[in-house]
């Protein structure tokens, strides 16, 4: 389900924002990672209006980020579960959480993410190269990918022109 809110942008960030860019949506996904499955759990944990929650869950199902599963019980209950596409958002949420802990949590992090093997807090997420070494934004080379349009190809040189020989 694409709204094309950014039709002039040939950009994976813009396409992702069309799916998860509304803030209730990311909070719903966060709650799913924390174990929420039922509509009532999401509603109770988030304090979101039923109509907003219903709309966001429907969009997440339509986009393939979550799936709706009928479960036994009275009143036709359903569970909402993250699909593989939804589970792939885990590093995105951890990165946002870590950024928020550093820059937006005046009283300190409200939650800690712990490594179950050691009990230690997980390491900050970093962008790494193929060797595993951390990379800073100014160190990256940017080249058009297979989905680039003409505007992107004009803006960025092909990889063959910027890679060291």
Domains and CATH numbers, the chain: 1-88 (1.10.10.10), 91-125 (no CATH), 127-165 (no CATH)
Which one, of 35, 19, 45, 40, lies nearest residue 81 by Cα?
A: 35
> What CA–CA distances, in Å, run from 138 to 7, 95, 125, 141, 158?
28, 19, 17, 8, 18
Instruction: Tell me what pLDDT residue 3 has.
Output: 54
Q: Residue 52, Cα to own-chain centre: how many angstroms? A: 19
Q: How many other C-beta atoms lie within 10 A of the C-beta of residue 157? A: 13
The whole-angstrom separation of Cα 138 and Cα 60 is: 34
Which one, of 57, 59, 66, 62, lies nearest residue 85 by Cα?
A: 66
The whole-angstrom separation of Cα 41 and Cα 50 is: 11
DSSP 120: P
The pLDDT tens digits for 2-48 are 456 777 788 899 999 999 999 899 999 999 999 999 999 999 999 99
User: What pTM value is reported for the model?
Assistant: 0.88
Q: Which pLDDT band holds residue 68 (cuts at 50, 70, 90)?
A: very high
> What CA–CA distances, in Å, run from 75 to 70, 71, 121?
11, 10, 41
């Amino acid at each position: 389900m694409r709204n094309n809110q950014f039709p002039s942008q040939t950009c994976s960030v813009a396409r992702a924002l069309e799916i998860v860019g509304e803030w209730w949506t990311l909070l719903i996904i966060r709650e799913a990672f924390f174990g929420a499955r039922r509509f009532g759990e999401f509603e109770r944990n988030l304090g979101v209006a039923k109509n907003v929650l219903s709309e966001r869950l429907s969009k997440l199902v339509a986009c393939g980020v979550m799936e709706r599963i009928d479960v036994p019980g009275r009143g036709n209950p359903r569970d909402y579960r993250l699909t593989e596409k939804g589970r792939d958002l885990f590093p995105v949420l951890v990165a946002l959480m870590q950024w928020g802990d550093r820059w937006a949590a005046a009283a300190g992090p409200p939650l800690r993410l712990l490594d179950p093997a050691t009990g230690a807090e997980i390491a900050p997420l970093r962008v790494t190269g193929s060797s595993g070494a951390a990379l800073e934004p100014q160190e990256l080379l940017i080249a058009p990918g297979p989905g680039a349009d003409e505007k992107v190809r004009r803006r960025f040189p092909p990889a063959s022109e910027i890679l060291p020989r």
